[in-house]
Amino acid sequence: MKEKNVKLVIAYNGSRFYGWQRQKKEKSVQETIEKVLKKITGEDIKLIGCGRTDSKVHAISYTANFKTVSRLTADQIKKALNANLPYDIYVKSAEIVETKFHSRYNTRKKRYRYLIICEERSPFLENFACFIKDKLDIEKMRKAAVYFKGRHNFSAFQAKGSRIKDTIRTIYSIIIKEEKFILDPEVQLISIEITADGFLYKMARNIIGTLIYIGLGKLSPEDIPEIIASGDRKRVPPTAPPEGLYLKKVVY
Protein backbone atom coordinates (compact mmCIF):
# COMPACT_ATOMS: atom_id res chain seq x y z
CA MET A 1 0.00 0.00 0.00
CA LYS A 2 1.14 3.57 -0.74
CA GLU A 3 2.86 5.36 2.13
CA LYS A 4 1.00 8.33 3.60
CA ASN A 5 2.06 11.18 5.84
CA VAL A 6 -0.13 11.71 8.91
CA LYS A 7 -0.14 14.99 10.83
CA LEU A 8 -1.21 14.92 14.48
CA VAL A 9 -2.11 17.81 16.79
CA ILE A 10 -1.61 16.68 20.37
CA ALA A 11 -2.40 18.06 23.82
CA TYR A 12 -0.51 16.70 26.79
CA ASN A 13 0.02 17.20 30.49
CA GLY A 14 3.78 17.05 30.85
CA SER A 15 3.86 16.46 34.60
CA ARG A 16 4.75 12.74 34.35
CA PHE A 17 7.01 13.00 31.32
CA TYR A 18 10.66 13.85 30.80
CA GLY A 19 9.78 16.10 27.87
CA TRP A 20 8.63 15.32 24.35
CA GLN A 21 11.76 13.71 22.93
CA ARG A 22 12.54 10.01 23.37
CA GLN A 23 15.02 9.37 26.20
CA LYS A 24 17.31 6.43 26.95
CA LYS A 25 15.89 5.80 30.42
CA GLU A 26 13.19 8.36 31.17
CA LYS A 27 9.56 8.35 30.04
CA SER A 28 8.78 10.71 27.14
CA VAL A 29 5.65 11.76 25.26
CA GLN A 30 7.16 10.72 21.92
CA GLU A 31 7.99 7.18 23.04
CA THR A 32 4.57 6.75 24.65
CA ILE A 33 2.74 7.63 21.42
CA GLU A 34 5.13 5.59 19.25
CA LYS A 35 4.42 2.47 21.30
CA VAL A 36 0.69 2.91 20.76
CA LEU A 37 1.20 3.52 17.04
CA LYS A 38 3.11 0.24 16.79
CA LYS A 39 0.25 -1.50 18.56
CA ILE A 40 -2.40 -0.19 16.15
CA THR A 41 -0.39 -0.28 12.88
CA GLY A 42 2.11 -3.07 13.46
CA GLU A 43 4.87 -0.74 12.25
CA ASP A 44 7.96 0.68 13.94
CA ILE A 45 7.01 4.33 13.54
CA LYS A 46 9.26 7.30 14.25
CA LEU A 47 7.27 10.40 15.16
CA ILE A 48 8.66 13.69 13.90
CA GLY A 49 7.92 16.43 16.43
CA CYS A 50 7.77 20.19 15.93
CA GLY A 51 10.49 20.60 18.58
CA ARG A 52 11.56 19.67 22.08
CA THR A 53 9.68 20.47 25.24
CA ASP A 54 11.43 20.15 28.59
CA SER A 55 10.52 17.85 31.45
CA LYS A 56 7.17 18.86 33.03
CA VAL A 57 6.37 21.35 30.24
CA HIS A 58 2.87 20.98 28.77
CA ALA A 59 1.37 21.35 25.30
CA ILE A 60 -2.00 22.71 24.25
CA SER A 61 -1.41 22.04 20.54
CA TYR A 62 1.80 20.17 19.74
CA THR A 63 2.30 19.12 16.11
CA ALA A 64 3.91 15.86 14.99
CA ASN A 65 3.84 13.74 11.85
CA PHE A 66 4.73 10.20 10.78
CA LYS A 67 4.82 8.02 7.68
CA THR A 68 2.77 4.81 7.50
CA VAL A 69 1.45 2.25 5.01
CA SER A 70 -1.44 1.35 7.30
CA ARG A 71 -4.93 1.10 5.75
CA LEU A 72 -6.38 3.01 8.69
CA THR A 73 -7.93 6.39 7.89
CA ALA A 74 -6.82 9.53 9.73
CA ASP A 75 -10.01 9.47 11.80
CA GLN A 76 -9.49 5.80 12.69
CA ILE A 77 -5.91 6.56 13.74
CA LYS A 78 -7.09 9.39 15.98
CA LYS A 79 -9.74 7.24 17.64
CA ALA A 80 -7.39 4.29 18.10
CA LEU A 81 -4.70 6.49 19.62
CA ASN A 82 -7.07 8.12 22.07
CA ALA A 83 -8.50 4.74 23.06
CA ASN A 84 -5.03 3.45 23.98
CA LEU A 85 -3.06 6.48 25.19
CA PRO A 86 -2.82 7.37 28.90
CA TYR A 87 -5.12 10.04 30.33
CA ASP A 88 -2.50 12.79 30.11
CA ILE A 89 -2.11 12.65 26.30
CA TYR A 90 -4.91 13.43 23.86
CA VAL A 91 -4.83 13.59 20.05
CA LYS A 92 -6.92 16.60 19.05
CA SER A 93 -6.77 15.94 15.30
CA ALA A 94 -5.25 13.66 12.67
CA GLU A 95 -5.09 14.31 8.94
CA ILE A 96 -3.34 13.06 5.82
CA VAL A 97 -0.96 15.74 4.53
CA GLU A 98 1.49 16.14 1.66
CA THR A 99 4.46 13.78 1.72
CA LYS A 100 6.91 16.69 2.01
CA PHE A 101 5.28 18.11 5.17
CA HIS A 102 7.71 18.09 8.10
CA SER A 103 6.51 19.11 11.56
CA ARG A 104 9.83 20.68 12.51
CA TYR A 105 11.32 22.10 9.33
CA ASN A 106 8.10 23.66 8.00
CA THR A 107 7.43 25.64 11.19
CA ARG A 108 7.03 29.40 10.68
CA LYS A 109 6.03 30.51 14.18
CA LYS A 110 5.59 29.08 17.65
CA ARG A 111 3.60 30.50 20.54
CA TYR A 112 4.30 29.64 24.16
CA ARG A 113 2.02 30.48 27.07
CA TYR A 114 3.21 30.79 30.66
CA LEU A 115 1.03 30.94 33.77
CA ILE A 116 1.96 32.62 37.06
CA ILE A 117 0.01 32.81 40.31
CA CYS A 118 0.97 35.51 42.80
CA GLU A 119 0.88 35.86 46.58
CA GLU A 120 -1.26 32.81 47.40
CA ARG A 121 -1.07 29.26 46.08
CA SER A 122 -3.94 27.36 44.49
CA PRO A 123 -4.14 23.56 44.85
CA PHE A 124 -5.95 23.47 41.51
CA LEU A 125 -2.93 24.88 39.69
CA GLU A 126 -0.25 22.76 41.34
CA ASN A 127 2.08 21.56 38.54
CA PHE A 128 0.28 23.86 36.07
CA ALA A 129 1.50 27.34 37.05
CA CYS A 130 4.53 29.01 38.59
CA PHE A 131 3.94 30.34 42.12
CA ILE A 132 5.46 33.71 43.08
CA LYS A 133 4.87 34.62 46.73
CA ASP A 134 5.11 38.36 46.06
CA LYS A 135 3.05 40.69 43.87
CA LEU A 136 4.44 41.43 40.41
CA ASP A 137 4.50 44.86 38.78
CA ILE A 138 2.85 44.01 35.48
CA GLU A 139 3.35 47.46 33.94
CA LYS A 140 7.12 47.20 34.38
CA MET A 141 7.02 43.71 32.87
CA ARG A 142 5.13 45.06 29.85
CA LYS A 143 7.70 47.84 29.40
CA ALA A 144 10.49 45.27 29.49
CA ALA A 145 8.68 43.00 27.01
CA VAL A 146 8.93 45.71 24.34
CA TYR A 147 12.74 45.44 24.34
CA PHE A 148 12.58 41.72 23.52
CA LYS A 149 10.50 42.25 20.40
CA GLY A 150 12.22 42.18 17.02
CA ARG A 151 15.20 40.28 15.60
CA HIS A 152 18.04 39.80 18.08
CA ASN A 153 20.88 37.52 19.00
CA PHE A 154 19.38 35.70 22.00
CA SER A 155 22.51 33.75 22.96
CA ALA A 156 22.31 35.16 26.50
CA PHE A 157 18.94 33.42 26.87
CA GLN A 158 20.08 30.01 25.64
CA ALA A 159 20.78 27.41 28.31
CA LYS A 160 23.88 25.26 28.25
CA GLY A 161 23.65 21.95 26.43
CA SER A 162 22.57 23.18 23.00
CA ARG A 163 24.64 22.68 19.86
CA ILE A 164 22.79 25.34 17.90
CA LYS A 165 25.20 28.00 16.62
CA ASP A 166 22.70 30.36 14.96
CA THR A 167 21.22 32.15 17.98
CA ILE A 168 19.37 34.89 16.10
CA ARG A 169 15.60 34.76 16.48
CA THR A 170 12.66 37.08 15.86
CA ILE A 171 10.10 37.69 18.62
CA TYR A 172 6.86 38.96 17.12
CA SER A 173 4.96 39.64 20.33
CA ILE A 174 4.96 39.25 24.11
CA ILE A 175 1.52 39.71 25.65
CA ILE A 176 1.16 39.94 29.43
CA LYS A 177 -2.33 39.82 30.94
CA GLU A 178 -4.12 39.45 34.25
CA GLU A 179 -6.69 36.70 33.91
CA LYS A 180 -9.47 35.16 35.94
CA PHE A 181 -9.15 31.56 37.03
CA ILE A 182 -12.63 30.15 36.48
CA LEU A 183 -12.46 27.65 39.35
CA ASP A 184 -11.38 30.31 41.85
CA PRO A 185 -11.65 33.98 40.73
CA GLU A 186 -9.72 35.08 43.84
CA VAL A 187 -6.51 33.58 42.44
CA GLN A 188 -4.13 36.23 41.07
CA LEU A 189 -3.35 34.71 37.68
CA ILE A 190 -0.98 36.23 35.12
CA SER A 191 -0.41 34.88 31.61
CA ILE A 192 2.52 35.62 29.34
CA GLU A 193 2.38 34.63 25.67
CA ILE A 194 5.49 34.78 23.49
CA THR A 195 5.30 34.35 19.71
CA ALA A 196 8.54 33.91 17.74
CA ASP A 197 9.93 32.32 14.60
CA GLY A 198 11.75 29.86 16.83
CA PHE A 199 13.14 29.36 20.32
CA LEU A 200 16.59 28.41 21.57
CA TYR A 201 17.03 25.83 24.34
CA LYS A 202 15.05 27.13 27.36
CA MET A 203 14.85 30.57 25.74
CA ALA A 204 11.17 31.05 26.60
CA ARG A 205 11.70 30.14 30.25
CA ASN A 206 14.78 32.37 30.50
CA ILE A 207 12.85 35.32 29.12
CA ILE A 208 10.00 34.61 31.54
CA GLY A 209 12.48 34.39 34.44
CA THR A 210 13.84 37.80 33.46
CA LEU A 211 10.36 39.31 33.26
CA ILE A 212 9.59 37.91 36.73
CA TYR A 213 12.74 39.57 38.12
CA ILE A 214 11.61 42.86 36.60
CA GLY A 215 8.16 42.42 38.08
CA LEU A 216 9.79 41.89 41.49
CA GLY A 217 11.88 45.05 41.12
CA LYS A 218 15.19 43.17 40.92
CA LEU A 219 15.90 44.51 37.43
CA SER A 220 14.81 47.55 35.46
CA PRO A 221 13.10 47.32 32.05
CA GLU A 222 15.90 49.49 30.68
CA ASP A 223 18.43 46.77 31.58
CA ILE A 224 17.10 44.45 28.87
CA PRO A 225 18.87 45.87 25.77
CA GLU A 226 22.25 45.66 27.51
CA ILE A 227 21.61 42.09 28.68
CA ILE A 228 20.62 41.01 25.15
CA ALA A 229 23.66 42.74 23.64
CA SER A 230 26.02 41.15 26.15
CA GLY A 231 25.34 37.60 24.98
CA ASP A 232 26.26 36.57 28.52
CA ARG A 233 24.09 33.86 30.10
CA LYS A 234 25.40 34.88 33.54
CA ARG A 235 23.65 38.24 33.18
CA VAL A 236 20.26 36.56 32.87
CA PRO A 237 18.18 35.71 35.99
CA PRO A 238 17.33 32.08 36.90
CA THR A 239 15.26 30.04 34.48
CA ALA A 240 11.53 30.07 35.25
CA PRO A 241 10.15 26.69 36.46
CA PRO A 242 8.85 24.34 33.72
CA GLU A 243 5.41 23.67 35.24
CA GLY A 244 3.93 26.97 34.06
CA LEU A 245 4.96 26.61 30.40
CA TYR A 246 2.67 25.45 27.58
CA LEU A 247 3.32 25.14 23.85
CA LYS A 248 0.13 26.83 22.70
CA LYS A 249 0.31 26.94 18.91
CA VAL A 250 2.51 26.09 15.92
CA VAL A 251 2.02 28.01 12.68
CA TYR A 252 2.96 26.53 9.29
Q: Indicate the domain borders of the chain.
A: 4-97, 112-251
pLDDT in tens, the chain (252 residues): 789 999 999 999 999 999 999 888 899 999 999 999 999 999 999 999 999 999 999 999 999 999 999 999 999 999 999 999 999 999 999 999 999 999 999 999 999 999 999 998 999 999 999 999 999 999 999 999 999 999 999 999 998 877 788 999 999 999 999 999 999 999 999 999 999 999 999 999 999 999 999 999 999 999 999 999 999 999 999 999 999 999 999 999
Architecture field, domain 4-97: 2-Layer Sandwich (3.30)
The predicted structure's pLDDT at residue 3:
93
* Burial grade of 131 (CB within 10 A; 0-12, 13-18, 19 or more): middle
Range list of H helices, 149-235: 203-215, 224-230
Question: Among 44, 54, 88, 184, which one carries the catalytic annotation?
Answer: 54
The predicted structure's pLDDT at residue 149:
97
Topology agreement, domain 4-97 and domain 112-251: yes
The predicted structure's pLDDT at residue 24:
86
Region class of 110: left (phi > 0), else alpha (psi between -120 and 50), else beta: beta
Q: Tell me which CATH code domain 112-251 carries.
A: 3.30.70.660
54 is annotated as an active-site residue: yes
- If residue 39 lies in a helix (H) or strand (E), which one and from where to where? helix 29-41
**Rounded-to-5 percentages of helix, strand, coil across the chain:** 30, 30, 40
The predicted structure's pLDDT at residue 25:
87
